[in-house]
Amino acid sequence: MGPTGSGKSTLLLTIAGAIPHHIPGRVEGILTVAGKNALEVGMLGLVGDIGLLFQDPEIQIVMPIVFDEVAFPLENLKTPREKIIKRAQEALDKTSLGSFKDYPTDILSTGQKQKLALASIMAMDPKIYLLDEPTAHIDPKTAREIYSELSQLKRNGAAIILVEHRIEYVLDLVDKILYIDNGQGIMAQNMEELIEKVGLEKLLDSGVWIPASYLPSLNTEPQSINPTVEDADPTVQAKSLQVQLGGKIILHDIDFTAKRGETTVIIGPNGSGKTTLLKTIAGLIKPKNGQITVQGKKPSPTSVAYVTQIPDHQFTERTVEEEIRSVVSNGSRRTSLDPEQALKRFGLEKLRDKVVYELSQGEKRLVSLLEMILLDRPVYLLDEPTFGLDLKYSLLVLKNIEHLANSGKTVILVTHDSWLVTLLQSKIYGLSQGRIVFAGSLEDLLLNRDIWQRINFDPPSFLKEAEDPAQLKETLQDYRETLKQLARGDRQK
């Protein structure tokens, strides 16, 4: 673990033998992987020993059909045919993709792609798993199932090296922690030892996501946020919306409203239609039936700013500075903030001249968010705004979302991040198989366990213990205030 951009993925790629053999670079020192000199043998010499899951699921998938994606590496390893079929099916079942085996890979949702990449590694049964934020796009319930599958693999003798920001869900699985900051590594046997070695303040300051149970109680005065903006008309309205893609109905009869000054969160299992709904609100997909309006009109690029789930889909220029300048100068109604000031606001000045495609995933997320927040639009659509981000940056994103809402904008976001859902005071829509099965507040959701099952929701554990609304309200408020207190001051550096 370590701050956004600290070198975690670089370390995994080096252990995998990708650096310096496939990705140019210079490596010094000794690196032994599965008893071999990894710097000498490279990735090819480690085939069969390691399974590497890239942070971006898009770049991992090469085959057009789901089953073939899992079978292909096994064929390369000259596995007998019957064994390939058995192992591929097992791996797909373990990642809940069993029924998708004949599906084209290019139309999978992002989370389904991440599961598929993981399945193809599991099928190879490597000795060492190198997993870069393996569940960043996976819904919370399935993520928990995948972690229990990983514990099983560990019990069977596999070594697992994992990069994670939200470590709350993986602490049971972990035997040691390597914390990286500024290129330096510190080893600890567990969270307590890491806090003791580095110090809680410093860990928080460098952006490490500390599980709630390790946070001090700050007993702060609750502050009110989100003043209600008086506005009777919804800014975004969907009526009996139906969307069809490739001959299949993806969204059925969606009724949805979002008002000025309001933040709306959409949650739900992988493949339930969340991204499809955002794209429809953005005007990128035409509904088959029903109606979608933004300020009473058809959605258009001048009425919505849309942050895509995969940041690369948004970029058109070479460097960070060019990218931001281009978005801002093409946008007809932009804010007064100049790109230079903007980068500063997110503490990203040092990235100005970097090539966008070479940024870390977390850095890409920040740049893609920042350039859209700079545009002045009535509606902001954010698909997974905090994936790949450490605590410090997640809080900064939270602050910006609240700022947009407080200044009368409409923010609609999709997320698998239970933490973000918990901290935002917003209306929640739960999607399941293309239908809205829940609409209400977080408190309503937390007290309604039947719904969790349907939408694969899994709140942070300390919230599950609250039994009545009053207790829940208190616990929630405490948690929100503790984190916000930590976020205040100058955490934008």
Ligand X SMILES: Nc1ncnc2c1ncn2[C@@H]1O[C@H](COP(=O)(O)OP(=O)(O)OP(=O)(O)O)[C@@H](O)[C@H]1O
- Of 105 and 206, nearer to ligand X (C-beta) is 105
Least distance (Å) from ligand X to the CB of residue 272?
4
Q: What is the DSSP secondary structure assignment for residue 399, as one 8-state letter?
A: H
- Residue reference for tokens 């740049």: 367
- In degrees to the nearest 10, what's the CA dihedral of 369, 363, 461, 187? -170
**Which 102-121 residues touch Mg ion, going by CB under 5 A?**
109-110
When CB distances to ligand X are compared, the closest residue is 111
**Which 346-365 residues touch Mg ion, going by CB under 5 A?**
none
- Of 161 and 249, nearer to ligand X (C-beta) is 249
Query: Does 107 participate in binding ligand X (rule CB under 6 A)?
Result: yes
- Of 434 and 459, nearer to ligand X (C-beta) is 434
Query: Does 456 participate in binding Mg ion (rule CB under 5 A)?
Result: no
Binding ligand X (rule: CB under 6 A), the pick from 274, 454, 480, 484 is: 274
3-state secondary structure at position 338: coil
The one-letter amino acid code at 405 reads A
Binding Mg ion (rule: CB under 5 A), the pick from 14, 275, 280, 303 is: 275
Query: Does 246 participate in binding ligand X (rule CB under 6 A)?
Result: yes
Query: Across the strands, what pairs with 430?
Result: 267, 438
- Quote the distance between the C-alpha of residue 295 and its chain's center: 29
Query: Does 95 participate in binding ligand X (rule CB under 6 A)?
Result: no
Binding ligand X (rule: CB under 6 A), the pick from 6, 275, 415, 418 is: 275
How far apart CA 121 and CA 88 sit, in angstroms, is 10
Pairing of strands 159-163, 236-245: unpaired
Query: Does 218 participate in binding ligand X (rule CB under 6 A)?
Result: no
> Which does residue 308 bind out of Mg ion, ligand X, none, counting CB within 5 to 8 angstroms by kind?
none
Query: Does 423 participate in binding ligand X (rule CB under 6 A)?
Result: no
Query: Does 276 participate in binding Mg ion (rule CB under 5 A)?
Result: no
> Which does residue 415 bind out of Mg ion, ligand X, none, counting CB within 5 to 8 angstroms by kind?
none
CA–CA distances in Å: residue 412 to residues 30, 311, 402: 48, 17, 12
- Of 279 and 377, nearer to ligand X (C-beta) is 279
How far apart CA 16 and CA 50 sit, in angstroms, is 7
How far apart CA 204 and CA 440 sit, in angstroms, is 32
Query: Does 308 participate in binding Mg ion (rule CB under 5 A)?
Result: no
- Of 14 and 309, nearer to ligand X (C-beta) is 309
Q: Of the listed pieces 15-23, 141-149, 177-185, 263-271, which binds ligand X according to CB under 6 A?
A: 263-271
Helix (H) or strand (E) holding 482, with range, is: helix 469-487
Give the closest residue to 296 by CA, choosing from 405, 412, 378, 381: 378
Query: Does 280 participate in binding Mg ion (rule CB under 5 A)?
Result: no
Query: Does 272 participate in binding Mg ion (rule CB under 5 A)?
Result: no
Q: At how many degrees (to 10) do helices 81-94 and 66-76 cross?
A: 130
When CB distances to Mg ion are compared, the closest residue is 275
Give the closest residue to 253 by CA, choosing from 264, 263, 239, 266: 239
DSSP 221-274: PP----PPP---S-SEEEEEEEEEETTEEEEEEEEEEE-TT-EEEEE--TTSSH
- Of 149 and 443, nearer to ligand X (C-beta) is 149
- Of 348 and 424, nearer to ligand X (C-beta) is 424
Query: Does 360 participate in binding ligand X (rule CB under 6 A)?
Result: no
- Cα angle: 426, vertex 314, 21; to 5 degrees: 115
Query: Does 102 participate in binding ligand X (rule CB under 6 A)?
Result: no
- Residue reference for tokens 């069977």: 156
Least distance (Å) from Mg ion to the CB of residue 46?
32
- Of 274 and 377, nearer to Mg ion (C-beta) is 274
Give the footprint of ligand X on this chain (CB under 6 A): 107-112, 137, 245-246, 248, 250, 268, 270-276, 309
- Using CB under 5 A, list all residues that contact Mg ion: 109-110, 274-275, 309
